Amino acid sequence: MNYLVKISRLLVGNLFIFSGIVKANDPLGFSYKLDEYFVEFGMTWSWLHDILVPLATFLVVIEIVLGVAVLVGYRMKEVSWSLLLMIVFFTFLTGASAIFEIVRSCGCFGDAIPLTPWDSFVKDLILLFFILIIFIKRNSIQPFEDKKMDALFLVISSLIMVPLSIMLDWWAPFTFTFGILAVGLVLKQFMANKAAMLSTLVSLVASITFSVYAIEHLPFADFRPYAINKNLPEQMTLPPNAKAPIYENILTYKNTKTGEVKDFTGIEYNNSRVWEDKDWEWQNTESKLIEAGDEAKITDLTIITHDDEDITDLVLAEENSLWIVCYDLSLSNESNLKQINDLAVKAKKKGMTVHGFSSAGREQKDAFIKKNKLDFDFLITDGIVLKTMVRSNPGIMQLKNGTVVGKWHENDIPTLEELK
C-alpha cells in the first residue's frame, strides 16, 4: 500500500502541476472556457461574468499549488480534501458535458492538448481513483525525513515532465516542477521542518506571477492556429492525405399494420429484404456519422465588410498588413487606442494595409471610430474567432501573405521599427 500511495502522489501531483501550468499560461483562454460552461448550465449572472478572469486565475493557481503540496507532503489532511472536492466537481462537469454533449472540448489542458468531454471524463475517473488512495491514507502522509526520497521524487517527477514538455515543445512544465522540488531539496539542508511549507509557498508566488504576466501581456506559449509563423490559409485547408469522415445510411421503415417503426443499416436492409414485405413502408433515410474525419485547424474564419461582402481571401493575400483586433468594442480598453492609432497611421505611410476587426455592427463601430478618432475602419469577424486570435482587447497582429509574423498585447504596443 505504501508504494501505491507514493505512485498516486507522483501521478496526481505531476498531473495537477502540468494541467495548472498549461492553463496558467493562458488564464484568459481558461476564463472563456469557464464562461462557455456557465452559459451552457444557465449560469448567466452578470456578477459571475465580471469575476471570470480572477476565478480562472485562482483555479489554476490552486491546481498548481495542490500538485506541489502532494509531492512534498505538505498539510495533506487539508490538501487531500481539496483534491477530492476538486476532482469530484470536475468529474461531474466533464461527465455532464460528455453525456449531454454540452461542449466539444473540456479545456483541461487549454489549447495545448484538446480533449473531448469523454476523454476528460475517463481521465478524471482515473484521477479520482488515485486521489481516493491519497485521501484514505492522508493521515499518514508527511514530508519525507529521508532526503533520498525527496531526491527520488525530484528525479521521477522530472522524468514524467520531460515527455510532456517535449510533446508541447515547451519546457515550462519541466522547468517549474524541477525548480520547485530542487528548491525544496536545498531548503531541507538548512530548515528541514519548514522545507515543505516554503516549497509550497514558492510555488504559490511563482504560479501567481506566471498567471498575471500572461494576462497583462500574452501567453508564453501560443498553441492556437493563429500563433506567430502560422500561415492562416494553410490552416484553413486540409492536406491531401486527410482522413475523410465515414457516414452510414440509416433507412427507417414503418409497419402499416402494427405501427412499429424500425431502423435499418445498409447491411441489415439488404439482409432483411424488407422492401419485399408490403406491410413495411419506407419513411425516410438519414446519413449517420460513424467516424469523424480530419478537420482543418481553422474552420470559422470569415472576414466580411459592413456591406456583407466576403473578402477573406483578399485580406489574407495582402503582402503586409496590420490587424487591430477588438473582439468586443464595448469591452475594449480605450486608454491605449491613441497610441495604437498613431502606429496605424505610421504603418499606412510605410505602405502597410491596416484593418480593424470586431464583431460589432455598423452603427456601433462608426460610433467607436468617431469617439476614439481612429484612422482605420473595421471589418466583421466572429467574436469567438477574434478571442482566439490574440488574448488582448484590443490586440495587434502583423501578417505577411497570410502568415502571422507578430502579435502584441495592448500593454506592449510595438514601435514602427518593430514591425517587420
* Shared domain check, 281 and 174: no
Secondary element (H or E) of residue 195: helix 195-216
* Whole-number pLDDT of residue 369: 97
In a domain, 193, yes or no: yes
- Is residue 142 predicted with pLDDT exceeding 80? yes
pLDDT beyond 70 at 225: yes
**Tens digits of residue pLDDT in 365-389:** 999 999 999 999 999 999 999 999 9
Distance CA 349, CA 347 (A): 5
Q: How many CB atoms lie within 10 A of CB 369?
A: 17
Contact 418, 322 (CB under 8 A): no
Round to whole Å and give the CA distance between 48 and 39.
11
316: amino acid identity, one letter: L
Cell numbers at residue 253, please?
Answer: 421503415
The gap from C-alpha 95 to its chain's centroid, in whole angstroms, comes to: 18
Whether residue 265 contacts residue 248, with contact meaning beta carbons closer than 8 Å, is answered with yes
Among candidate residues 291, 324, 347, the one where a domain is terminated = 291
Do 180 and 271 lie in a common domain? no
Amino acid identity at 401: N
The pLDDT score that the predictor gives to residue 239 is 81
Do residue 58 and residue 203 come from a single domain? Answer: yes
Residue 222 resides in a domain: no
Residues 41 and 168 in one domain: yes
C-alpha–C-alpha distance, residues 124 and 131, integer Å: 10
| Residue 226 belongs to a domain | no
CA distance 28 to 410: 14
**Which cell numbers in the block locate residue 209?**
506571477
Establish if 394 belongs to a structural domain: yes
Tens of pLDDT, residues 312-369 = 999 999 999 999 999 999 999 999 999 999 999 999 999 999 999 999 999 999 999 9
Q: Are residues 203 and 340 in the same domain?
A: no
Tens of pLDDT along 50-91?
A: 899 999 999 999 999 999 999 999 999 999 999 999 999 989
Q: Is the per-residue pLDDT at 168 higher than 70?
A: yes
Same-domain status, 318 and 379: yes
Pair (284, 303) in one structural domain = no
How far apart CA 280 and CA 295 sit, in angstroms, is 39
Q: Is the pLDDT of residue 103 over 80?
A: no
Instruction: Please write the tens of the pLDDT for every residue from 174-204.
Output: 999 999 999 999 999 888 889 999 999 999 9
First to last CA, the chain: 60
DSSP characters over 85-147:
HHHHHHHHHHHHHHHHT--S---TTTTTS---HHHHHHHHHHHHHHHHHHHHTGGG----SSH
176/261 same-domain check: no
Q: How many residues does the chain have?
A: 420
Q: In the predicted model, what is the mean pLDDT of the chain? A: 93
pLDDT greater than 90 at residue 138: yes
278, 330: one domain: no
Query: pLDDT tens digits for 14-25?
Result: 999 999 999 999
Show Cβ contacts of residue 109 under 8 Å, excluding neighbours closer than 6 positions.
18, 19, 22, 23, 115
Inter-CA distances, 150 with 8, 18, 83, 350, Å:
15, 19, 21, 58
Q: State yes or no: cis peptide before 27, omega within 30 of 0.
A: no
Q: Map residue 288 onto helix, strand or coil.
A: strand
**What whole-number distance in Å separates Cα of residue 150 and Cα of residue 188?**
9
Pair 255, 348 in one domain = no
Among 97, 90, 122, CA closest to 16 = 90
* pLDDT of amino acid 38: 86
The helix (run of H) or strand (run of E) holding residue 66 is helix 52-72
Confidence of residue 295 (pLDDT cuts 50, 70, 90): confident
> Looking at the structure, do residues 281 and 321 belong to the same domain, yes or no?
no
**C-alpha closest to that of 297 among 220, 233, 379:** 233
Give the pLDDT mean for 263-284. Answer: 90
Asked if residue 247 has pLDDT above 80, the reply is yes
Separation CA 384–CA 57 (nearest Å): 20
pLDDT of res. 23: 97
The H or E element that residue 408 is part of is strand 403-409
Domain around 379: 299-418
Rounded Cα–Cα distance for residues 14 and 69 (Å) = 11
- φ, ψ for residue 298 (rounded to 5)? -120, 120
pLDDT at 292 over 80: no
Both 207 and 250 in one domain: the answer is: no
Q: Is residue 326 part of a domain?
A: yes
pLDDT at 232: 98
pLDDT score, position 1: 66
Instruction: Count how many domains the chain has.
Output: 3
Range with the poorest average pLDDT among 12-21, 203-212, 238-247: 238-247
| CATH number of residue 351's parent domain | 3.40.30.10
pLDDT of 186: 94
Q: Which of 161, 195, 216 is the last residue of a domain?
A: 216
At residue 127, what is the residue type? L
C-alpha 24/C-alpha 57 separation (Å) is 7
